[in-house]
Structure 1
Amino acid sequence: MLLTALYCILVAVLLVQLIYYLFFFTLPFNSKKNSGLTNANKAVSVIIYIKNNVNELKQNLPFILNQKYDDFEIVLINHSSSDESLDVIKNFQQNHNHIKVVNVENKEAFWGNKKYALTLGIKAASNDFLLFFDIHCKPLSELWIKEMATKLVTETSVVIGYKSLTSNKFSIKNIFIRFYNTLSSLKMFMFAKLNNPYKGYHENFGYHKQLFFNVKGFINHINISEGETDLFLKDAKSIAKPQIQLSTASYVKEQFVLSFSEFFSNFRKQQTLIRFYSGKTRFLLRLFNISKFLFWLISIYLCFNNLVIGLSAIAFYLLFQYVFISKAAIKLKETQLLYFLPILDISYVFFVLFTLILNLVSKPKL
């Protein structure tokens, strides 16, 4: 009786995972290249948040300044930096007249809040179409603005781009972090493609200024330090028209290797942030994790009771996972992950479970 019930559950969770990989994880890559969107050279404001980033400014700002785009400005928000960031910004501004500086000082209300500083930068932007970039990153092409701007068409447009992670040398920890980043990106793109956006990378994100004001900016979550894209999308979901940009020229890459402790802290916050998402989004995200956990739990158990069925289920699962995720891995330039899929997948399941238990004991501050 127990084995029969386990077989039924195993088939059910395999079906759920198959649907995710077969349909959802390939859907973002099946759209036509231009999707009917215009490639007009509209005026764009690139908004960059700065707080004690002297080295990053010197290293990465030139990649934005050298973008091949005719009509754009750069809005640099200096958020009460205690280092020489403001001096470096002003030096850049002297040589580039399309740089605008917004200096947020301690004396201003909510000065310690990033979302407040971003609001000042958005209000100061001269152009209606906004792109958000992180100074810790660099665009992988001189056509980054152009590629992202093609998806910004109307006042309700939102464009969600891809962010990759740096890998200086072989490291199991780094491979796992990149696997999570890839998996998270696929889910993010999938939901946006289905007109149910819930997340975007603040390092590569854009929308129309009027949309920001239509949802009253960040006012509904101004006291939550995290989620300037996630919670903004939640507020704008009913009127926003999300687009994903998966052109290789639109990618950005972080220029430092994320430590595991930093990743773990960010992951815990992200898992806590899920409680603010819509009920439908929470259900679908948790269904993916729960079905994956149940599959591995039951399959491993069956290997001790019926080795043939247990191994057959695992082989079938890994086969369709590899087939359907390989297209995404190639597109996102993460083919190295394919060699470690079984280990990464199992590690992901128990990592999520451990984080869930830890967050129940002690929730991280948002």
Structure 2
Amino acid sequence: MLILILYFFIVVVAIQLSFYLGVFGKFAFAKAQKITPKKLSISVIVCAKNEEENVANFIPLLAEQNYPDFEIILIDDASSDNTLEIFEDFEKQYSNIRLVKVQNNEAFWGNKKYALTLGIKAAKKEYLLFTDADCYPTSKEWITAMSSQFTMQKTIVLGYGGYEKIANSFLNKVIRFETLVTAIQYFSWAKAGLPYMGVGRNLAYKKEEFFNVNGFISHIQLRSGDDDLFINEAATGKNTAISYTPESFTYSKPKRTFKEWITQKRRHVATANHYKKLDKLQLGTFYCSQLLFILLPIVLLSFQFQWILVLTLIALRYLCAWIIVGFSAGKLKENDLKYWFPVVELVLIFTQINIFITNIFSKPVHWK
């Protein structure tokens, strides 16, 4: 039995190395990007529901972008706070801001995709750039950096949406590390020609891509997935590019409690169940191999069975993974996270198991 477990462990390590070196290395070792400004007309789209504090602080950062031809579409999704009033003030203040007011619709009650669809249809520009109401760009060159990756063939651009650092907070490190690992995955698979998701905090595509797949219609019944499910359906190796220059990043305020973060992650995991079969297979294989990489050595080492070989395989996997994570963290300006890699990875693995089991027995809460 132990020899079979050892062989199985060797296979698991090989799978992990194939992911880290064969796939994730495509992003980790990618050359630095250059920003070559494009003369494209851009509609920046922000959908908000009860976000009065965030929009008051962040919309001016969008309005003051250093870009010659852009408009901002502000979508108020039937907010019950002062979000609409703040949007109306911004519309008066900035000539390139246009407001879309969404009333609750009985057929699409509380569905962000319905609100976004109205905003996309109202956009006058050919290229759409999305961010969330609680996000802000890192520079005034955000639109320039993201739009620079568009070409005649590349009509979808995936960007990086990180989270602010909170000093002396372990939860913050877990949240940021999970975001880093997710970005490594979707950037790497996009570079491999198999894009499968993007994040609505920083995402761009040509308007025709939206209508080519009939918008969100194939998953309109799901309240989440306006970003990743859309990309999962519309993106291909030919039409998708990535943007990872520091000027293209956006940041959000992270959750402050473990409960809030778990609620957020439950939504993300539930949405991933609707990815294409191949994408679910590769994600499931990676996460299962991560778990088995932790559990199988415990059995082998507890019996001191081939312990030198087992420890060598553990060290090899961690060394390769650490190198890949380290180079990727450097590209995404998350260098401090690489030092927490082994510990935070363990927390994430068992958190994901807990979320998966919890979602089986209860449905997560979605858009506000």
After superposition, residues 337-356 of structure 1 pair within 5 angstroms as: 337-356=337-356
- Residue 356 of structure 1 aligns to a residue whose secondary structure is helix
| Structure 1 stretch displaced more, 92-101 or 330-339 | 330-339
1:213 to 211, 214, 226: 211
Alignment deviations for residues 96-152 of structure 1 (CA, whole Å, 9 cap, x no partner):
110011111236853532111111100110101000011201101110000101122
After superposition, residues 5-44 of structure 1 pair within 5 angstroms as: 5-33=4-32, 39-44=37-42
- Residue 104 of structure 2 aligns to a residue whose secondary structure is coil
- The amino acid that maps onto 1:349 is I
Alignment deviations for residues 173-224 of structure 1 (CA, whole Å, 9 cap, x no partner):
2211211111111111122222222211101001111111111111111121
- 1:180 and 2:178 aligned: yes
Residues 81, 359 of structure 1: alpha-carbon distance in 2 compared, 3 angstrom cutoff: closer
Cα distance in 2 between the residues matched to 1:308 and 1:340? 25
Residues 317, 31 of structure 1: alpha-carbon distance in 2 compared, 3 angstrom cutoff: closer
- Residue 318 of structure 1 aligns to a residue whose secondary structure is helix
Residues 112, 240 of structure 1: alpha-carbon distance in 2 compared, 3 angstrom cutoff: farther
- The amino acid that maps onto 2:253 is Q
Residues 182, 149 of structure 1: alpha-carbon distance in 2 compared, 3 angstrom cutoff: same
Residues 34, 343 of structure 1: alpha-carbon distance in 2 compared, 3 angstrom cutoff: closer
**1:9 CA drift (Å):** 1.2
Cα distance in 2 between the residues matched to 1:28 and 1:319? 17
Cα distance in 1 between the residues matched to 2:237 and 2:334? 33
* Structure 1 unaligned regions, length at least 5: none
Cα distance in 1 between the residues matched to 2:207 and 2:123? 9
After superposition, residues 23-172 of structure 1 pair within 5 angstroms as: 23-33=22-32, 39-106=37-104, 110=108, 112-154=110-152, 157-172=155-170
Residues 107, 334 of structure 1: alpha-carbon distance in 2 compared, 3 angstrom cutoff: closer
- The amino acid that maps onto 2:73 is V
After superposition, residues 238-249 of structure 1 pair within 5 angstroms as: 241-249=239-247
- The amino acid that maps onto 2:359 is N
**1:32 CA drift (Å):** 4.8
8 Å contact from structure 2 (residues 43, 128) kept in 1: yes
Residues 106, 360 of structure 1: alpha-carbon distance in 2 compared, 3 angstrom cutoff: closer
- The amino acid that maps onto 1:151 is Q
Instruction: Determine what percentage of the aligned residue pairs are the same residue.
Output: 34
Moved over 6 A (4+): none
Cα distance in 2 between the residues matched to 1:256 and 1:289? 24
Cα distance in 2 between the residues matched to 1:82 and 1:360? 32
Match of 1:331 in 2: 331
Cα distance in 1 between the residues matched to 2:47 and 2:215? 16
Cα distance in 2 between the residues matched to 1:166 and 1:239? 31
8 Å contact from structure 1 (residues 165, 178) kept in 2: yes
Residues 108, 75 of structure 1: alpha-carbon distance in 2 compared, 3 angstrom cutoff: farther
Number of residue pairs the alignment of both structures matches: 364
2:276 to 275, 278, 281: 278
